[in-house]
Amino acid sequence: MQKWKLMMAAALFAVVGTSANSAEIIILAGQGNISGARDLGAGFAQATGHKVTARQERNALDTVRAGTPADIVLANPPVIDDLIKQGKAVGTRVDWARAGIGVAIKAGAPKPDLSNTEAFKRALLNAKSIGYSTVGSGLMAAKIIERLGLAEALKARTKFLDGFPAAEAVARGEVEIALQQINVILPVAGAELAGPLPPELQEYNHFAAGVLAVSKEREVATAMVKFMGAPENAALVRKSGLEPPAR
């Protein structure tokens, strides 16, 4: 039996009870962190008997501002801090994951060399078309391209992809490569991860969790948030391609 299950189940049993009086909690997540929310939610549910629903929102903050019933929200750390200051979240912010940027290619296509900066530059310049979003990891990708001095050279071949994983455009043949969070690339059928950005260029999107003030299950929600940030559960964070936060 996995050691982390025994440790966490024992600790959480005393705090949040058993399935005999199980609660149901809702996590508000976005495209960039829904995979981790689902994996950690499943782990917490298995350890405690409580039901966890991770719900992907187009804009989780709009959902929070509307006062929609939910228990936990996932966002970048400064956003969670602001929600706590505004009284929309309670307790302490918990940092639980970070996501690196990767390169998506069509499934079965030759993988470009991404081992260092010069190889990555060649991969971009050799690509017939490139896609990334205008938010999150897409903004990071744009800044990296600009820093490398390639923005003008790639301008005509760049397509901005919003509202769906950029890797889906690769799978459909709309762009040859896409730059996106690794955990968002991995589930896309018809695309595959060519590899992460070279270490010297890699940037991360950081994720934190906060308990919502409107939660009717604060005790369970607080336990869930602690579970997300516990080092013992790093394997669940990594399961979908995320990484535990740097400590």
Summarize pLDDT for 25-44 with one digit per residue, the tens: 999 999 999 999 999 999 99
Summarize pLDDT for 183-198 with one digit per residue, the tens: 999 999 999 999 999 9
Q: Note whether residue 227 is domain-resident.
A: yes
Q: Which residues, listed in sequence order, are joined to residue 207 by a DSSP beta bridge?
A: 97
Q: Are residues 157 and 234 in the same domain?
A: no
* pLDDT for the residue 20: 53
User: How many domains are contained in the chain?
Assistant: 2
State the Cα–Cα distance between residues 118 and 130, nearest whole angstrom.
17
State the Cα–Cα distance between residues 101 and 88, nearest whole angstrom.
30
Q: Where are the alpha helices (DSSP H) in 67-198?
A: 77-85, 117-126, 137-147, 151-154, 166-171, 182-185
Report whether pLDDT(84) > 80.
yes
Domain of 227, CATH number, reads 3.40.190.10
Q: Are residues 108 and 65 in the same domain?
A: no
pTM listed for this prediction:
0.89
Summarize pLDDT for 97-123 with one digit per residue, the tens: 999 999 999 999 999 999 999 999 999
Q: Note whether residue 246 is domain-resident.
A: no
Which range marks the domain in which residue 150 is found? 99-196
Q: Are residues 211 and 175 in the same domain?
A: no
Q: Are residues 153 and 167 in the same domain?
A: yes
Q: Indicate the pLDDT class of residue 14, thresholds 50, 70 and 90.
A: very low
Q: Are residues 64 and 92 in the same domain?
A: yes
